[in-house]
Amino acid sequence: MKTKFIFLSAIASLMFALQNCNAQDKDIVAEGAELQLVANGYEFTEGPAADKDGNVFFTDQPNDHIIEYDVEADSVFVFMEGAGRSNGLYFDDENNLIACADEEFQLIKISPNKDIEVLVDDFEGKKLNGPNDLWIAEDGGIYLTDPYYQRPYWDRTSPDLESQNVYYLAPGSKSLTMVVDDLVQPNGIIGTPDGKTLYIADIGDKKTYSYTIAEDGSLSDKSLFVEMDSDGMTLDHQGNVYITGDGVTVFDKNGKQIKHIKIDENWTANVTFGGKDRQTLFITAMDALYSLKMNVKGVR
């Protein structure tokens, strides 16, 4: 009986290992799926974010527009004109669109009715460099990157702040806390749904780091994730990290590259999951928005 039990246990262990292996080896892209052009003709697309219904919003920053792609109607239209030169976007739990609006160096909240509220526009009395990208934790805390990119619509030609930092806006707070100040030029940012890990890309040093998130929102345990930078980032439900620039490069949670999605454009700026099932990858690249059906789903 003991020998039989050991034999059956060995078979069960082997089957479990094979199932895990097959799950890991399964392509994250849906079988037969090809990259689809959703819309083009813009000047430069950025900041894709999906609302609670899976509709995808993205920015055409040079033209100061926020564009909406209605997934059910399969149509694209201008959601807002004059959006503060919004760049990175993210929806909060109340379906407000939180936007990095660098025209006036602000983080703003856009309601479903298109009412705008300025959440923050300075750090310790100095103008921000130009909020670029953000991630919202489950408790409503907001992390944002603040690199300096000289814009043609600015009067100023130099930053007020000495460094290019990452900030945290605690729930209910009206002032920022600096959480990272040692990166060259922070850009892409994304956190895990459990609120424990934050990924930040240093586009100025061609690296992406991971951090541990504390209960008070502070960051610790800085660790090199990959020797690659990113403009915008997202995650899927398996914990894979999607990095943009030269198309979309996907790494597992251990930093091993598992996929490269080629985009026939000079630059791929950002990426998110959308659609009703959150199983379509939406990609902003140069003047266009692309989509790709996936075997994995996005997370909050």
Q: Which two tokens stand for residue 42?
A: 């813009």
Q: Which two tokens stand for residue 273?
A: 């999951």
Q: Quick one: DSSP state of residue 233?
A: E
Which residues are 134's β-sheet partners?
144
- Burial category of 226 from C-beta neighbours within 10 Å (exposed 0-12, middle 13-18, buried 19 and up): buried
pLDDT of 15 over the 80 cut: no
Cα–Cα distance between 213 and 207 in angstroms, integer? 19
Per-residue model confidence as pLDDT tens digits over 282-299: 999 999 999 999 999 999
Q: Output phi, psi for 11, to 5 deg.
A: -65, -45
pLDDT of 155 over the 70 cut: yes
Better-scored residue on pLDDT, 10 or 153: 153
Residue 25's pLDDT band (boundaries 50, 70, 90)? Answer: low
34-293: CATH number: 2.120.10.30
pLDDT of 137 over the 80 cut: yes
- C-alpha distances in angstroms, 247 versus 6, 176, 183? 49, 33, 24
Q: Which two tokens stand for residue 217?
A: 């929102």
Strand, coil or helix: what is 168? Answer: strand
- Closest Cα to residue 91, out of 278, 280, 279, 297? 278
Cα–Cα distance between 85 and 99 in angstroms, integer? 9
pLDDT of 10 over the 50 cut: no
Q: Quick one: DSSP state of residue 62?
A: G
The full set of domain ranges for the chain reads 34-293
DSSP string, 84-128: SSEEEEEE-TTS-EEEEETTTTEEEEE-TT--EEEEE-EETTEE-
Strand, coil or helix: what is 43? Answer: coil
Query: What is the pLDDT averaged over residues 207-221?
Result: 98
Query: What is the pLDDT averaged over residues 172-201?
Result: 97
C-beta separation of 181 from 162 below 8 A? no
- Burial category of 295 from C-beta neighbours within 10 Å (exposed 0-12, middle 13-18, buried 19 and up): middle
CB atoms within 10 A of CB 215: 7
pLDDT of 186 over the 60 cut: yes
Better-scored residue on pLDDT, 19 or 124: 124
Cα–Cα distance between 128 and 100 in angstroms, integer? 11
Cα–Cα distance between 271 and 291 in angstroms, integer? 10
The model's pTM: 0.91
Q: What is the mean pLDDT of the chain?
A: 93
Per-residue model confidence as pLDDT tens digits over 39-85: 999 999 999 999 999 999 999 999 999 999 999 999 999 999 999 99
Q: Which pLDDT value is given to residue 72?
A: 95
